[in-house]
Amino acid sequence: MTAGEGVQLWAEERGDPAAPPLLLVMGANASGVLWPEELVDLLAAGHRVIRYDHRDTGRSSAVFDRVPYAIADLARDAVAVLDALGIERAHVVGMSMGGTLIQLLLLDAPHRLRSATVLCTSALGAGLADVAGTGELPGPAPELLAYWQTMGGDRDRAAELDWRVEHWRLLSGGVLPVDAGWFRALEERAMDHAGSVRGPVAHALADQSGLDRGAELAAVTVPTLVVEAPEDPVNPPPHAAHLAAVVGGAGLVTVPGMGHALPPAVHGPLAAAVAAHTAAADAG
């Protein structure tokens, strides 16, 4: 599907086409297939689930080197996916940067949203979106920041898989057990899907202007749920509580032991929280 001049996006649907649509928005430098199959299946039990590849990830167009863009443009891509599929309003679920993009949609395109769920993220103007550099809330763990300096390195498939599995270990937070084989299989699918072993880095280089809009979130009326990942080393507590406090009428739930990752142990609790939230929003 087309999302602007020279930008083609890959997307996939699952579930009953007549069920309420639910759009999954992944984090930075991550393709849609990093939403685990098991989690997508759980969500598809009651929704028409759509996952897609951001530009410069997976099978979508790689354009940043030719035409640099802003993070905010990725939010408009999400709307383009809904347009291409003929979906007027959808539930949206965003992880990490995907949660940042959903906050932009809450402000700029609320008429397209039935509900919003965000996880492993921080409020606009805070965390990695703290473009003003206030530093009022904790930033990512130092060992993670150091590891990110090697992102996108020139590695063969085996070495890149090792890098990504170690990345997931760092992201997982140290409470839930890390099944290296499960994460390796997840990344093998992502590599095969993209047809490349090189890790994407474009989103780390994209313009962050327009993200310092936290004060506007108080006026949000779309039903919003914030999922706290208490072991998240990227957006650690109290980021989730802060976000829930600044978004108008937002709810807050915690998935115990969850870090900045989606291992099998969190699929059931996360899917249940999303299903309860979307059902309440549709009933309302």
Contact 22, 92 (CB under 8 A): yes
Three-state SS string over the chain comes to: CECCCCCECCEEEECCCCCCEEEEECCCCCCHHHCCHHHHHHHHCCCEEEEECCCCCCCCCCCCCCCCCEHHHHHHHHHHHHHHCCCCCEEEEEECHHHHHHHHHHHHCHHHEEEEEEECCCCCCCHHHCCCCCCCCCCCCHHHHHHHCCCCCCCCHHHHHHHHHHHHHHHHCCCCCCCHHHHHHHHHHHHHHHCCCCCCCHHHHCECCCCCCHHHHHHCCCCEEEEECCCCCCCCCCHHHHHHHHCCCCEEEECCCCCCCCCHHHHHHHHHHHHHHHHHHHHC
Q: Tell me whether strands 113-119 and 90-95 are parallel, antiparallel or unpaired.
A: parallel
Per the residue annotation, which of 232, 239, 242, 277 is the catalytic one?
A: 232
Report the distance separating Cα 276 and Cα 30, nearest Å: 27
Of the residues 91, 260, 267, 277, only one is catalytic, namely 260
Neighbouring-strand partners of residue 94: 25, 118
* CB-based contacts of 221, cutoff 8 Å, min separation 6: 110, 248, 249
Q: Which of 61, 96, 122, 172 is catalytic?
A: 96
* 232 included as an active-site residue: yes
State the burial class of residue 240 (Cβ atoms within 10 Å of its Cβ: 0-12, 13-18, 19+): buried
Instruction: Tell me if residue 122 is catalytic.
Output: no
By annotation, the residues acting in catalysis are 96, 232, 260
